[in-house]
Amino acid sequence: MAESASGTLVLERVNTPPAQTWNHLRANDITLTVPVVSRKGDVYFALPRLFESIECGMGGAVTDWIESQASDARYVEVRAGEKREEPIIAESDTGIMVRAGAEATIVVCAPTGGPAQGTTAALVRIIAERGAQVHVLEFVCGDTEQHLESVGIVAGEDARVDVRQFFLGAGTTAAGLAVALDGNRARLDLSCRYLARDNDVLDINHVIRQRGRNTRCDVHESGVLDGHARKALRATIDLVHGSSGSEGAELENVLVLSDDVTNKTMPVILCDEDDVAGNHGASIGSVAPEQIQYLQDRGLTLEEAEQLYVRALFDEALICAPTSETRKAVLARATEILGSETASDLVEGLDLAEKSGPFATTEV
């Protein structure tokens, strides 16, 4: 997004979950200051009206702001039944329609221009029609001052959506994802891996609305916090009335490596239906003693053992990165944090994985 700001705007109550709690905890939302440029007189191509009704994770204020600042909106349609191989690269304001039975991979990659880049943002809205399969990959590995990423997905009957988020960047990252499982048997698998260190701020809002019957959602967030990082995760599973037979599960594992970290976790289940199952779990702490012991028995120091968890984040990000651009972004950030030696090790590992697949055996 443009950095020649002609002014700033304060966005309040960003990333607000559907149900909130004591305000003194300062866990309900985040306030962000963003630049605004006047686009008076520009012709702006908006998305089809259909997309307006989609709930996006960061909330209405962010949607309005991005729409007002984006130079253009982009609409992409994947035809019914089409299996699209080429990933769709989603940028500042993108609406994607995946028609019935189609399959598509959507990649959102935050810019990596350095702190001088100022504020960057992406707004992505996706409709997965009946039986569609949608794979969403989000990579925030840059070092811009501030990045906002707001995603909204609506899944129809039997649609399968999987989302993999990698929030590994520096500075402030605020990301919201809202997924509406509207159709019967719609399914979401969400994996979110993150790293926040130094003075990074990471603010995540996950909202899953289970409306259809027999829907499934499986959410797993995990990450590493170090330095003076401040992180907040709000994860809400909303079992709406009528979603009978649905099951929702969410689990977060946080590894805290420094006493100067602030970790806020708010895992919410809202339940308005009896024939459902909702589960939440969270574990926050250091590496378990028995795990540390095991790793130490294999020759690692405590610090090396802890770094192993950081490395694992990049390993996974790299394996999932589908384009050379995303790979470059992950690798640049890995080099910065783990050093070039480890980074090249990651690449070798990746090559190996590519040749044989991560679970390949020695047999051909």
Partner 1 sequence: MSERTEKRTQVADVDRSLYDFTYSEEGYERYDDGLTPDIVRAISEKKDEPEWMLAMRLAALDTYHAKEMAPNWGPSIAGLDMDHISTYVSPRTKQAKSWDDVPDDIKNTFERLGIPEAERESLAGVGAQYDSEIVYHNMREDVAKDGVVYTTIEDALHDPQWEPVVHEYFGTLIPPADHKFAALHYAVWSGGSFVYVPTGVKVEYPLQSYFRLNAEGAGQFEHTLIIVEEGADLHFIEGCSAPKYYEANLHAGAVELFVKDHARLRYSTIENWSKNMYNLNTKRARVGADAQMEWVSGSFGSHVSYLYPTTILQGDRSNCEFSGITFAGATQDLDTGCKVILNGADTTATVDTKSISKDGGCNTFRSSVIVGRRAANARCSVSCQSLMLDDISRSDTIPAMDVRNATASVGHEATIGRISDDTILYLMSRGCSEPEARTMVVGGFANPVSKELPLEYAVEMNNLIKLEMEGAIG
Binding footprint of partner 1 on the chain (CB under 8 A): 19-23, 25, 27-28, 239, 241, 244, 254, 256-286
Cβ at position 243, least distance to partner 1 in Å: 10
Query: Minimum distance from CB of 55 to partner 1 (Å)?
Result: 18
Mention every residue, 6+ apart, whose C-beta is less than 8 A from residue 336: 143
Question: Closer to partner 1 at the Cβ: 244 or 342?
Answer: 244
Distance of closest approach, residue 239 Cβ to partner 1, in angstroms: 8
Q: Of 120 and 263, which CB lies nearer to partner 1 in the complex structure?
A: 263
For residue 287, the minimal CB distance to partner 1 (Å) is 10
Nearer to partner 1, 191 or 262 (CB): 262
Residue 147 or 197: which CB sits closer to partner 1? Answer: 197
Q: Toward partner 1, which CB reaches closer, 17 or 142?
A: 17
Q: How far is the CB of 244 from partner 1 (least distance, A)?
A: 7
53 vs 283 by CB, closer to partner 1: 283
State the nearest-atom distance from the C-beta of 312 to partner 1, in Å: 18
Distance of closest approach, residue 260 Cβ to partner 1, in angstroms = 8
105/243 with CB nearer partner 1:
243
